[in-house]
Amino acid sequence: MSGPPKYQPVPTGDGITEDDERYPETAPSYPPTSRHIFTMGDGGPSNVIYTFVPRYPLKGEPQDALGVLGRDKHNTVLIVQRGFPTLAEYPPERIEFLAPVEVDSNGRVVDDRWGTVMEEAWSRFDRDPPSRLRVQVVDLPGDAEDREVFLRTEQEARDWKEAQAFLTFVAFAITLVAVVTLIIWYNGGFETSGKSQPTS
């Protein structure tokens, strides 16, 4: 597994300007500078909750991280690659972002519905930034079909385990009833045989 991406520091001073060609827009720095992130009206960064959802063939549980919103998709990819090291193994074009289709009054995503963030949308995030974004790796050809088979197999395995547990419970209950019945019958038969017969 490769390590997290390396970042080139941006020097400050009278001899360096924001549009210095030696430090192009595509060269990320850490921490992110104002060139790479959206800022709110008060000059502060626009915060967003990123949710990374690994999908088969990736393994792992969903992870959340609070970060800043990049000025465009490229810079946002660099931000989430720092927050989720697994994503550093993938090129930027394999990473996609999704925004909630609808949220309720508590900020929860309704029906877990997410829509892909298209390139044109990034330029408007300075006016209406999202509060959360879902991050995932774009499928390669065949990944969706393999994932469907994997999920179906997992569901069948869970169903079989539940059926086994139910059958085990039924077998135990039947055995318990049979044993109790046998004990009662045996004790009743023994007491009957022990009684003296009446004399004529």
Q: Identify which has the larger pLDDT, 153 or 42.
A: 153
Say what the pLDDT of residue 200 is: 54
Q: For the beta carbon of residue 77, count every other beta carbon within 10 angstroms.
A: 23
- Residues 63, 84: contact at Cβ < 8 Å? yes
pTM beyond 0.85: no
CB atoms closer than 10 angstroms to residue 132: 19
- pLDDT tens-digit readout, 90-130: 999 999 999 988 877 777 777 788 999 998 888 888 888 88
| Distance separating alpha carbons of residues 95 and 88, to the nearest angstrom | 10
More confident residue, 188 or 50: 50
pLDDT(59) > 90: no
Helix (H, G, I), strand (E, B) or coil at 164: helix
**Tokens in use for 13?**
């001073």
- 133: how many CB neighbours lie within 10 A of its CB? 22
Residue 197 pLDDT grade (very low, low, confident, very high; cuts 50, 70, 90):
low
Lowest mean pLDDT segment, chosen from 54-63, 136-145, 151-160:
151-160
CB 188 within 8 A of CB 180: no
